[in-house]
Amino acid sequence: MIHVAVLGYGTVGSGVVEVIENNNAEVSVKAGEEMHVKYILDLRDFPGDPYEDRVVHDFQIILEDAEVSVICEVMGGVGAAYQFTRQALEAGKSVCTSNKELVARHGAELLEIAKNKNCSYMFEASVGGGIPIIRPINKALTAEKLENISAILNGTTNFILTKMEKEGADYGETLKRAQELGYAERNPEADVEGYDACRKIAILSSLMVGKNVNAEKIYTEGITKITPADFAYAGAAGMTIKLLAFSRADENGRVTAMVAPAMISREHPLSVVNDVYNGVFVKGNMLGDVMFYGRGAGKLPTASAVVSDVIDCARHIGRSSIVCIWEREEAELTDISETERAFFIRAAADAREAVEAAFPEGRSLTVEGREKDFGFLTAVMKEKDFEERYSGLGDRVLNRIRIA
Amino acid sequence: MIHVAVLGYGTVGSGVVEVIENNNAEVSVKAGEEMHVKYILDLRDFPGDPYEDRVVHDFQIILEDAEVSVICEVMGGVGAAYQFTRQALEAGKSVCTSNKELVARHGAELLEIAKNKNCSYMFEASVGGGIPIIRPINKALTAEKLENISAILNGTTNFILTKMEKEGADYGETLKRAQELGYAERNPEADVEGYDACRKIAILSSLMVGKNVNAEKIYTEGITKITPADFAYAGAAGMTIKLLAFSRADENGRVTAMVAPAMISREHPLSVVNDVYNGVFVKGNMLGDVMFYGRGAGKLPTASAVVSDVIDCARHIGRSSIVCIWEREEAELTDISETERAFFIRAAADAREAVEAAFPEGRSLTVEGREKDFGFLTAVMKEKDFEERYSGLGDRVLNRIRIA
């Protein structure tokens, strides 16, 4: 019997209990032993809940129970969650988490403790919800030198952008609708400013290079400035707009990473990742391109990913199932301003001559019915050269978006 | 040191050697020990080849060398490949393969031998080339009850269909071009008649239900009757045409499986899986939809998948790394004629009244410039009811394609 404790009985936590109970036959066969949720840690009580008898308020009960071998940390945050995770691992109990903030900040350290204590720290659910992405990178693409990752990692912003494109609605009203539907939080900053996607690409980048990629040093730009007009021009160019997280490793292990809205060709598989779905596009040196697609959030998909980690731990009791390399040493991040790409510009109609003079190698985009502004695609150039010329155009230029 | 033997020095075999040598640092770190190709079994000699000194002609040399712990069977076929695999597993040596024909036919038996001998039989490369799909199903989606799989599993036919759609070219000339480019074999039957996709969906279905799904009993239809006219009507209905492999498991473990061309909505992620790419769409009861996408064939992608299996075996020397359940017991297949779906019909213009009378609940599709025929979408109905009404229409109906 594998005794599991769940820390936090919120959305994901109740999903974890539901997956272990509802799919108990499948889960137990895969784990090699029957699996059972022994404790649920929460500050609240849950009178009437079918599992109310398993709710405890004191983490020490779990820590001191030798029967508990696997702990699911689905409480979030980097305070108590960090302390409890450290204590559990130090006690040789494996921890499975969906807490991307904690993984991005302390992943390297927690992995080190787990390895030393012959247990595991697993975080499949921290990126891409239910989509298997961490495990494929660690266990399936093992023969590969990973070269780059491009991904849609945030369901909230992807939902907003999809609706804006399909309905021609503006950002503010679409955000409001997403909030009403429960797809965006009342304080949406972490999603719409790209911070959530940033933490996730930091995790994937760390696994790609085996060193710690500091999320706080990754250039991050949100979607709040995107307008229906931008989508109209993107459509005219055979593209759409997505909040993309990129990461590339050079041969010296230096990382170029960024989170920003980008125009992407309608031919690219990421362009059909719509609504709350996520997609992770990975390029390996032998394999070429692979993409993983699925629900990037939600109670049961995320819980399913947590439980897949629990099963992995259950199959490795007494030894670590960790195969990834993620050293504490910090990876070097390149200066974004030196990287090269093409840009889309939207500008007032009377700025046409100025834009064409600043970017003589670009080309204009027109959309029927739009006369007050126009679109423009530049040639490929360094970010810093673009910014210099673009800022010289003053407020006649209305927006600029990178081309993926 | 992990000593590996490669059986068959053809395209995939030379790719396996190349991946192990070129990515040796990555591969060895992931395996936990240095990896080395000790033998290459082939009937031919390879004078001048950098690894010519490792070529042997007698399998007994490999079988009797206690240092060899992992064997890559990339020779294909179900004769010698089957004998060598059995002998290797009986001797406790793990076998990793790309041989889908052998896996589809003898997978259950070979897995059983491997488990009994504390070694592994691994076949990530048998489905989807380099795309991680077998391992995610076995190791990542472990908390799931898998409900169905829809997939594009054959790169050759997907290339042909993509070109037919984009260029309006007919089947025969597109096949010829695919052969010239090396994307189709001189004898293309296994690909274009759907047999290759059938073996692969049999493997995935067996893993989905844990019992043996017999490929020979799966209804299989190829792409040879698809015409540019069908693509024109598909386009008018917001769809495209793909050779789809489907499989669904009901609550009693009964399997409904089929390989056939199908019209699929342009909104579905499989619709943008183009050219030689493959896509596997999986639905789990907790997770919802997930898709895996990538190069379904090719020397290095396939070799990369084989080597990911070798690494897994290397990490489990002396014990089996097999986690899948695939019993020898045969799974029950449902009768396709009882399953329900909608159909597309293309018919001569003068058959319109007859078609509308036979399918009163359907609707017509028109394409500008096409006057001699018309398209028609039926309501959802049982296959047998459709076939009865359709066959009654005689040769005025020109084609029929299932709607996914």
In the predicted structure, residue B400 carries a pLDDT above the cut 90? yes
Please, are residues B97 and B120 in contact by the beta-carbon 8 Å criterion? no
What is the average pLDDT across B311-331? 91
The shortest C-alpha distance from B394 to chain A (Å) reads 40
Bridge partners of A343, per DSSP, are: A402
Q: Does A27 touch chain B (CB under 8 A)?
A: yes
Catalytic residue among B200, B211, B242, B299: B200
Question: Among this protein's residues, is B384 annotated catalytic?
Answer: no
- pTM confidence score: 0.92
Instruction: Verify whether the Cβ–Cβ distance A285 to B23 is below 8 Å.
Output: yes
Tell me the CA distances in angstroms from A299 to A95, A203, B109, B137, B333, one per residue in order: 19, 21, 38, 20, 33
The shortest C-alpha distance from B36 to chain A (Å) reads 13
Separation of alpha carbons B232 and A115, rounded Å: 58
Q: Residue length, chain A? A: 404
Instruction: Verify whether the Cβ–Cβ distance A272 to B273 is below 8 Å.
Output: no
CA A114 to chain centre: 23
Cβ-based neighbours of B110, under 8 Å, separated by 6 or more: B85, B86, B89, B95, B102, B103, B121
Q: CA torsion sign, A129 to B137 to B199 to B121?
A: positive
In the predicted structure, residue B342 carries a pLDDT above the cut 90? yes
- The percentage of chain B sitting over the pLDDT mark of 90, rounded to a whole number, equals 87
In chain B, the residue whose alpha carbon lies closest to the alpha carbon of A35 is B143
Separation of alpha carbons A228 and A168, rounded Å: 5
Please, are residues B211 and B333 in contact by the beta-carbon 8 Å criterion? no
In the predicted structure, residue B252 carries a pLDDT above the cut 90? no
Separation of alpha carbons A67 and A63, rounded Å: 10
Predicted confidence (pLDDT) per residue in B108-151, tens digit = 999 999 999 999 999 999 999 989 999 888 887 888 889 999 99
Separation of alpha carbons A144 and A166, rounded Å: 38
Residue B286: list chain A partners with CB under 8 A: 15, 19, 22-23, 130, 300-301, 303-304
From the list B135, B287, B304, which residue is nearest A287 (CB)?
Answer: B304
Backbone dihedral angles phi then psi of residue B194, each to the nearest 5 degrees: 90, 5
pLDDT in the model for residue B152: 98
Q: Where are the beta strands (DSSP E) in B153-254?
A: 219-220, 239-249
> Going residue by residue through chain A (404 aa), what tens digit of pLDDT does each one get?
999 999 999 999 999 999 999 999 989 988 999 999 999 999 999 999 999 999 999 999 999 999 999 999 999 999 999 999 999 999 999 999 999 999 999 999 999 999 999 999 999 999 999 899 998 888 878 888 899 999 999 999 999 999 999 999 999 999 999 999 988 999 999 999 999 999 999 999 999 999 999 999 999 999 999 999 999 999 999 999 999 999 999 988 899 999 999 999 998 999 989 999 999 999 999 889 999 999 988 899 999 999 999 999 999 998 888 888 899 999 999 999 999 999 999 999 999 999 999 999 999 999 999 999 999 999 999 999 999 999 999 989 999 999 99
Please, are residues B311 and B328 in contact by the beta-carbon 8 Å criterion? no
The shortest C-alpha distance from A155 to chain B (Å) reads 14
Cβ-based neighbours of A201, under 8 Å, separated by 6 or more: A149, A151, A153, A218, A245, A246, A247, A257, A259
Separation of alpha carbons A125 and A131, rounded Å: 8
Instruction: Verify whether the Cβ–Cβ distance B293 to A140 is below 8 Å.
Output: no
Radius of gyration of chain B (CA): 23
Separation of alpha carbons B208 and A70, rounded Å: 27
Residue B22: list chain A partners with CB under 8 A: 286
Q: What is the ipTM of this complex?
A: 0.87
Question: What amino acid positions of A are annotated as catalytic residues?
Answer: 200
Q: Does B78 touch chain A (CB under 8 A)?
A: no
In the predicted structure, residue B10 carries a pLDDT above the cut 90? yes
Q: Residue length, chain B? A: 404
Radius of gyration of chain A (CA): 23
Separation of alpha carbons B319 and B53, rounded Å: 31
Residue B315: list chain A partners with CB under 8 A: 323
Predicted confidence (pLDDT) per residue in B28-56, tens digit = 988 999 999 999 999 999 999 999 999 99
Instruction: Verify whether the Cβ–Cβ distance A140 to B135 is below 8 Å.
Output: yes
Separation of alpha carbons A322 and B99, rounded Å: 30
Instruction: Verify whether the Cβ–Cβ distance B141 to A323 is below 8 Å.
Output: no
Predicted confidence (pLDDT) per residue in B201-219, tens digit = 999 999 999 999 999 999 9
